[in-house]
Chain A
């Protein structure tokens, strides 16, 4: 599934405010709940449950919180750039400022993993990351992410 299918243009937040990891997850859950029409608490709990196993901070200032949400019909993605980098308990200790949230249906299986792998791979490209950090416009970030994932998939 191309990234454009799971990442809506409205799901880009170029200036998210959060002072802690917990607050960031709450903010993300809030925005996701509005876009999905789901309960914010449920989303937050799902993310938190996953973070308890280990941080989804993958290093280099990037985090990919994810989880499975019962009753979801398709993959849901949301991208946020934090106004101020926060500690995300990443293995490399680097504060996180780029967050890609990924929620999957209970039965997503392989699609979920593929999307996750693709997002992680795209966010490992220093070029893409640098552009994301230099950009404050939601529309162009969306274009960047969806275009980057297509060119990366080749």
Chain B
């Protein structure tokens, strides 16, 4: 009887923590606090140092549950990534996730040694533990805050965070091994080790992804079982790859990537299921990590840990980013943002449990330092990321208002997908002939009544529109159902232009300053040229006092753009010219 009581008690506590975790999202939204931090704090509060008083120090369980949670989160991350948006970002990202990780680890080791009075290998271990950015945190932050990052910058930090765990995991495991056996030196073995982790992870990941696709399209399961099977395979893939000394994290990310970019049956139910499970994983993982930590022990190492965190954020990460990205064409602002986007999260805490499991003498130091670094990063980065992105001009536009898209499985085929959108005020969907030719309105639900599109006429606010569209293009429909900002973000006029307009024509109309090489190009061509043929909505080019911003891309070409005049900038540049020629006294600006 006693054990039944205990298990019920455990259930009660776990379930209560999950419920509190979900409710805390309201709190986080109200105060703009990073929600992952809130989960962590709930864990700490429930733990031995907080009012909860739960004594939890099972590093093994943490490692296991944490691995599974991370695997699911990464799989979901891959699933949501469009391969088309990755081109041009892969090589810089992989550079960051290999050379960058090693560099960051080595740099952090330089200060960790003296600060924590550790030996060289031990300080390198501290570096390795905090060297990798956390995919769960990065993906989460970018998506949850609706941050519309420029394609290349967004892809680089996302791919980096998904692929840098192998290097960090391997480095950590290797250093722990070296410290336990206290023999041998790294060197070539290490390079081969990392390489092996990546290759095995990549091969198994891609193969696993295709296997899932084939399985889903061939096997008929009773309703509701597809998502469960997919999640099971993802965790299985993680475990198998890890057992074969490959990077399980890389494998599940790639498997998700393959699955998300192929036509697959039941994909709608899979994505919505994973969406939910990912949330659960985030809550479980962070609450558990919070439970594991003892606040009073963190305080012991607080000062040196803060030193490590400050150095990592302000020196280590930026140095690694600037060096790794030097061969690629990134602007200073982009590099600064990527430096700042080095979020640390569960992976670091989770890597810090490895020395614990190996019973290293200094294990507690690593763990508490890692925890402090993650805490600093969650607070600092989590709170400032959106602001920094906007300040550094790397966002495409203001966070887009979120839209709700309901995806409905159409059994029997994979060519088209049925999606439903609620029609809200201020969306282009209500216009005449709003839908593109490849999408077909099949049903309208208006005031509780189902109508054929013929009977319904154009969509009205309050309707639900049911649209058939090819899965690959479904996300392009979002634009039509997203409320247009009533006040455009910039102060100034914005005029729409079709993509086929020549820049030269705009020069005579608006006095744009266009480089000679682009004078003969159309708007669409200019954007294609400047984006390696991957223009995206919100991308901007500045031509003197005006900016051209992409509004719509169809089949990889800009079809609509808006021209924004910026009188403020215009005024300044005119005043500058006038002063230059002595036409206007200093400070005597126009009335504008």
A contacts, CB < 8 Å to B: 2, 50, 53-60, 64, 67-68, 87, 90-94, 109-110, 113-114, 116-121, 124, 126, 153
Stretch at the interface among B350-358, B377-385, B494-502: B494-502
Contacts of A90 in B (CB 8 A): 496
* Complex contact A53–B592 (CB within 8 A): no
Contacts of B511 in A (CB 8 A): 109-110, 113
* Complex contact A120–B494 (CB within 8 A): yes
Cα A41 to Cα B558 with chains together (Å): 33
A114-B509 in contact given A119-B493, A124-B488 (Cβ < 8 Å): no
Write the nearest CB–CB distance from A122 to chain B, whole angstroms.
10
Closest 8 CB pairs of A and B: A93-B431, A120-B493, A54-B497, A117-B567, A91-B496, A117-B565, A117-B493, A53-B501
Tell me which of A54, A117, A124 contacts B496 (CB under 8 A): A54
Cα A113 to Cα B592 with chains together (Å): 12
Write the nearest CB–CB distance from B348 to chain A, whole angstroms.
46
* Complex contact B492–A92 (CB within 8 A): no
Nearest-CB residue, chain A, relative to B433 = A93
* Complex contact A113–B567 (CB within 8 A): yes
* Complex contact A68–B488 (CB within 8 A): no
Contacts of B300 in A (CB 8 A): none
* Complex contact A118–B501 (CB within 8 A): no
Contacts of A60 in B (CB 8 A): 486
Known pairs A54-B498, A118-B567. 11 more at Cβ < 8 A?
A2-B591, A91-B562, A92-B428, A93-B431, A110-B574, A113-B510, A113-B565, A114-B570, A116-B565, A117-B570, A120-B565
Tell me which of A92, A109, A118 contacts B431 (CB under 8 A): A92
B 467-495 to A, binary, CB cutoff 8 A, 1 in contact else 0: 00000000000000000101110011111
Cα A117 to Cα B560 with chains together (Å): 20
Write the nearest CB–CB distance from A57 to chain B, whole angstroms.
7
* Complex contact A58–B501 (CB within 8 A): no
Contacts of A58 in B (CB 8 A): 493-496
Q: Is the interface of A mostly helix, strand, loop or mixed?
A: mixed
Interface size grouping (class) on chain B? 35 or more
Which of A50, A53, A116 gathers most chain B CB within 10 Å? A53
Which of A2, A57, A58, A90 gathers most chain B CB within 10 Å? A58
Write the nearest CB–CB distance from B504 to chain A, whole angstroms.
11
Write the nearest CB–CB distance from A66 to chain B, whole angstroms.
8
Contacts of A56 in B (CB 8 A): 495
Contacts of A53 in B (CB 8 A): 497-498, 501, 505-506, 509
Contacts of A64 in B (CB 8 A): 493, 495
Write the nearest CB–CB distance from B458 to chain A, whole angstroms.
9
Write the nearest CB–CB distance from A51 to chain B, whole angstroms.
11
Write the nearest CB–CB distance from A110 to chain B, whole angstroms.
5
Is B434 an interface position by the 8 A CB rule? yes
Nearest-CB residue, chain B, relative to A120 = B493
Cα A109 to Cα B487 with chains together (Å): 26
* Complex contact A91–B493 (CB within 8 A): no
Cα A93 to Cα B433 with chains together (Å): 9
* Complex contact B497–A121 (CB within 8 A): no
Write the nearest CB–CB distance from B315 to chain A, whole angstroms.
43
Contacts of A119 in B (CB 8 A): 493
* Complex contact B551–A50 (CB within 8 A): no
B 567-581 to A, binary, CB cutoff 8 A, 1 in contact else 0: 100110010000000
Tell me which of B484, B495, B567 contacts A54 (CB under 8 A): B495
Is B430 an interface position by the 8 A CB rule? yes
Is B545 an interface position by the 8 A CB rule? yes
Cα A2 to Cα B592 with chains together (Å): 9
* Complex contact B505–A87 (CB within 8 A): no
Is B432 an interface position by the 8 A CB rule? yes
Which of B492, B509, B591 gathers most chain A CB within 10 Å? B509
Cα A116 to Cα B484 with chains together (Å): 22
Which of A93, A94, A119, A121 gathers most chain B CB within 10 Å? A93
Write the nearest CB–CB distance from A94 to chain B, whole angstroms.
7
Contacts of B565 in A (CB 8 A): 113, 116-117, 120
A94-B431 in contact given A113-B510, A153-B592 (Cβ < 8 Å): yes
Cα A116 to Cα B501 with chains together (Å): 20
* Complex contact B430–A93 (CB within 8 A): yes
Cα A58 to Cα B508 with chains together (Å): 20
* Complex contact B486–A126 (CB within 8 A): yes
Cα A117 to Cα B566 with chains together (Å): 7
B 526-569 to A, binary, CB cutoff 8 A, 1 in contact else 0: 00000000000000000001100001000000001010011100
A57-B496 in contact given A2-B591, A68-B509, A153-B592 (Cβ < 8 Å): yes
* Complex contact B492–A55 (CB within 8 A): no
Contacts of B426 in A (CB 8 A): 92
Write the nearest CB–CB distance from A23 to chain B, whole angstroms.
18
Q: List 30 A-B contacts (CB under 8 A).
A: A2-B591, A53-B497, A54-B495, A54-B496, A57-B496, A67-B509, A68-B508, A90-B496, A91-B496, A92-B426, A92-B431, A92-B484, A93-B430, A113-B511, A113-B545, A113-B565, A114-B571, A116-B493, A117-B492, A117-B493, A117-B565, A117-B567, A117-B570, A118-B567, A120-B493, A120-B565, A121-B491, A121-B492, A124-B487, A153-B592
Contacts of A91 in B (CB 8 A): 428, 496, 551, 560, 562
Which of A57, A68, A116 gathers most chain B CB within 10 Å? A116
* Complex contact B570–A113 (CB within 8 A): yes
Cα A87 to Cα B430 with chains together (Å): 13
Cα A68 to Cα B509 with chains together (Å): 7
Write the nearest CB–CB distance from B72 to chain A, whole angstroms.
40
